[in-house]
Structure 1
Amino acid sequence: MDNLRLLAVVSGCVWLSGCGGDSQERFGGPTMGSTYSIQYVRTTSAPQPKELQRQVESILSEVDRQMSTYRDDSDIERFNNLPANSCQPVPAPVLHLVRTGEQLSQASDGAFDLTVEPLLNLWGFGPQAREVKVPEAATLAQVRQRVGHQHLRIEGDQLCKDAAVEVDFNSIAAGYAVDRIAERLTELGIHRYLVEATGELKAAGRKLDGSPWRIALEEPRDDQQVAEKIIDVDGFGVSTSGDYRNYFQQDGRRYSHTLDARTGAPITHQLASVTVLHPSALMADGLSTLLLVLGPQQGWDYAEQHRIAAFFVMRDGAGFVTRSNEAFEVLTSVKP
């Protein structure tokens, strides 16, 4: 996914024992072109770690099979390959994410849009990209005709389009997967966990020793990993979106992979990254991208208006300045 990796501050042990037979377990592996990791406190009634890993990887495989733009046989890529004025039956989770994308698109006046895949390919950042370069104005104008959430509609269990749009779930699919895994853990009686998939996170409860799950937010640098801020997480998802690590330079200008659907071009403002905390990892995932696209002032105003817990990192010369709102500070304040 396009979001940045958040660093979990954890013990180096993969298994810890506690009172009453409880233990702290950890497992992980590859997923969706990146990795996932699960840490949790296992009670004696919970499934064995290998069985739980099987269930988690089943969820991740389902998400990849339905929503990946990097495999031709996924549900969304089969839809993307259809011409204009076509419909295709798709699974309910795909429709759920389309509706979420519509909500975010309308809320941002079109700055956030799930149909930017043709633009990503044109600028060299998408799954079908051929060359990383600034496109010709005429070509950009032509491709923009194939972008816009208004070209999508849902009819029953079918997703339809009136233009040759292509849907890209990379800004929300990982958050959705994290929510699905967290829900499954809760169903199995596991209420103390840290779930991470491709950098999206959700945590609940505390570790076996009673300490909180702690997350290090990275400084937006492309040369090394440096912790900008460390927060305690309990009961919410965490997502950071940034304009670095995936970019190119041409004629002395820097072009990020984060596109503003309203202009069809990469963002050019000084907001380098945004971290959002939200009870839903799906919404944290989408909102972090939305705020990043809107920029340092418009994004800040949007977060304040909608009471979104957000942490902004802006470029300032050769360094960075940070800004967090009251909603963010309340959620990350030290608790006994």
Structure 2
Amino acid sequence: MLSRLVWPVSVAALAAALTGCFNSAEPVSEIYGSTMGSTYSIKWVGSEQSPAATEVKASVDQLLETFEEAASTWRPNSEMSRFNAAPAGTCQAMPQSILEIVELAQQLHRDGDGSFDLTLDPLLALWGFHGDGGQNVPDDQQLAAAMAHTGHQYLHIRDGQLCKDVALQLDISGIAAGYMVDEVVEHLASMGIQDYMVELTGELKADGHKPGGRPWRIAVEEPRDDSRIAQLILPLRGLGVSTSGDYRNYFEHEGQRYSHTFDPVTGRPVMHDLAAVTVLHPSAAWADGLSTVLLVKGSKLGWEYAIEHELPALFVIRQGDGFVSRSTPQFIALQQSKE
């Protein structure tokens, strides 16, 4: 019998941004909204030259809506939905945003030895992670049939068109939020906003200062080996931050835990001891993708990759009934940096 469980510990999840209390003539403006099936929030330090918050919100909402019109797999008339419905051997003109996301995904796929893949939709459906049926542990024949329709090697960009050799189902949600954080940041800069914190569906980037001259800070929930949660407070200076974990969406079958995070090489959910990983990077899109790469690789290979590429990363590893954490030197340096 298959059953869905809720993991009782929030592991390495991004907490609310810490804006603090201060007395200053510089106002902090805030806007909130909905996007990509979730929410967004933006905070910035205004000035006499800054646009009104209503103007910023209207332009940000339009930016996000334009992206969703092209990229959403839930909208039947989007460019992404039409591409997914097209047969093998199809090429289709796509917006620059989607082409840039695919190019980034291709690089993550190559650099990560296949650990990042945007074509895993048939596997998510096969294992029952689409929410339209019960969970399923497929046999080898079913798995092979689904994997025949996955793989970045079957996806190409040619003369501004996106092409597929087999009937792929592309889903860019694994990197889209981080990409759009970077796009919103550029949009704010075009309006003269330099001191900001942008969060979209849990992906986040901040730069500049709050009133009083201090950097924006985030709280990262870190379970220790006694299973109690301790908060790490990190200043963000031009960095994006992303957390990937296997603790929010999974099922258990015959005593085995199956996560919604898949190893693209095997077509199976990851089964190792790495519960979550947080990555910081100047690009929120890269942070988004790299956190997935490290989670798929696991506590050993993921750690080696992070060290080799000098990534600021926090690994949260299951040990017995609790957790231990491990931080790369670059993460420790950011954690200890003075504000």
Give the TM-score of the pair, scaled to structure 1: 0.92
Instruction: Give the whole-Å Cα distance in 1 for the aligned partners of 2:327 and 2:171.
Output: 29
Q: 8 Å contact 1:220–1:272 — kept in the other structure?
A: no
Instruction: Give the whole-Å Cα distance in 1 for the aligned partners of 2:79 and 2:228.
Output: 35
Q: 8 Å contact 1:236–1:279 — kept in the other structure?
A: yes
Q: 2:130 is matched with which residue: 87, 103, 126?
A: 126
- Residue 5 of structure 1 deviates from its aligned partner by 5.2
How many pairs are equivalent? Answer: 327
Give the unaligned 5+ runs of structure 1. none
Cα distance change on mapping 1:78 and 1:12 into 2, 3 Å: farther
Instruction: Give the whole-Å Cα distance in 2 for the aligned partners of 1:122 and 1:319.
Output: 31
- Residue 12 of structure 1 deviates from its aligned partner by 8.0
Instruction: Give the whole-Å Cα distance in 1 for the aligned partners of 2:332 and 2:222.
Output: 18
- Mapped pair 1:116 → 2:120: yes
Instruction: Give the whole-Å Cα distance in 2 for the aligned partners of 1:304 and 1:253.
Output: 31
What secondary structure, in the 3-state scheme, does the structure 1 residue paired with 2:97 have?
helix
What secondary structure, in the 3-state scheme, does the structure 1 residue paired with 2:302 have?
helix
Cα distance change on mapping 1:332 and 1:59 into 2, 3 Å: farther
Instruction: Give the whole-Å Cα distance in 2 for the aligned partners of 1:187 and 1:225.
Output: 43
- Mapped pair 1:35 → 2:39: yes
Q: 1:68 is matched with which residue: 65, 69, 72?
A: 72
Cα distance change on mapping 1:181 and 1:227 into 2, 3 Å: farther
Q: 8 Å contact 2:234–2:334 — kept in the other structure?
A: no
Identity, in percent, stands at 49
Give the unaligned 5+ runs of structure 2. 1-10
Q: 1:54 is matched with which residue: 38, 51, 58?
A: 58
Q: 8 Å contact 1:274–1:310 — kept in the other structure?
A: yes
User: What residue number does 2:24 align with?
Assistant: 18
Q: 8 Å contact 1:303–1:309 — kept in the other structure?
A: yes
User: What residue number does 1:91 align with?
Assistant: 95
Instruction: Give the whole-Å Cα distance in 2 for the aligned partners of 1:285 and 1:70.
Output: 21
Q: 1:236 is matched with which residue: 236, 239, 252?
A: 239
User: What residue number does 1:80 align with?
Assistant: 84
- Residue 225 of structure 1 deviates from its aligned partner by 11
Instruction: Give the whole-Å Cα distance in 2 for the aligned partners of 1:166 and 1:9.
Output: 35
User: What residue number does 2:14 align with?
Assistant: 6
What secondary structure, in the 3-state scheme, does the structure 2 residue paired with 1:8 have?
coil
Root-mean-square deviation over aligned CA pairs: 2.1
- Mapped pair 1:293 → 2:299: no
User: What residue number does 2:155 align with?
Assistant: 152
Q: 2:218 is matched with which residue: 215, 220, 226?
A: 215
- Residue 11 of structure 1 deviates from its aligned partner by 4.5
User: What residue number does 2:259 align with?
Assistant: 256
Q: 8 Å contact 1:194–1:203 — kept in the other structure?
A: yes
What residue identity is the alignment partner of 1:25? S
Instruction: Give the whole-Å Cα distance in 2 for the aligned partners of 1:4 and 1:78.
Output: 36
Give the TM-score of the pair, scaled to structure 2: 0.91
What secondary structure, in the 3-state scheme, does the structure 2 residue paired with 1:101 have?
helix
- Residue 136 of structure 1 deviates from its aligned partner by 2.4
User: What residue number does 1:194 align with?
Assistant: 197
Q: 8 Å contact 1:6–1:217 — kept in the other structure?
A: yes
User: What residue number does 2:4 align with?
Assistant: none
Instruction: Give the whole-Å Cα distance in 2 for the aligned partners of 1:187 and 1:17.
Output: 28
User: What residue number does 1:277 align with?
Assistant: 280
**What are the Cα deviations for residues 131-190 of structure 1, in whole angstroms up to 9, with x where unaligned?**
312122211110100010000111112111110111111111000010011111112111
Cα distance change on mapping 1:45 and 1:227 into 2, 3 Å: farther
**What are the Cα deviations for residues 21-47 of structure 1, in whole angstroms up to 9, with x where unaligned?**
x31111112211111000110111011
Instruction: Give the whole-Å Cα distance in 2 for the aligned partners of 1:154 and 1:9.
Output: 38
Name which structure has the greater RCO, CA cutoff 8 Å, separation 6+: 2
Q: 8 Å contact 1:269–1:295 — kept in the other structure?
A: yes
Cα distance change on mapping 1:65 and 1:82 into 2, 3 Å: same
Any runs of at least 4 consecutive aligned residues in structure 1 with deviations exceeding 6 A, and if so which? Answer: none
Q: 8 Å contact 1:220–1:273 — kept in the other structure?
A: no
Q: 8 Å contact 1:218–1:226 — kept in the other structure?
A: yes
- Residue 74 of structure 1 deviates from its aligned partner by 2.2
User: What residue number does 2:175 align with?
Assistant: 172
What residue identity is the alignment partner of 2:16? A
Cα distance change on mapping 1:55 and 1:130 into 2, 3 Å: same
What residue identity is the alignment partner of 1:248? F
Instruction: Give the whole-Å Cα distance in 2 for the aligned partners of 1:123 and 1:324.
Output: 32
**What are the Cα deviations for residues 191-215 of structure 1, in whole angstroms up to 9, with x where unaligned?**
1110000000000011113333121
User: What residue number does 1:184 align with?
Assistant: 187
Instruction: Give the whole-Å Cα distance in 2 for the aligned partners of 1:184 and 1:119.
Output: 36
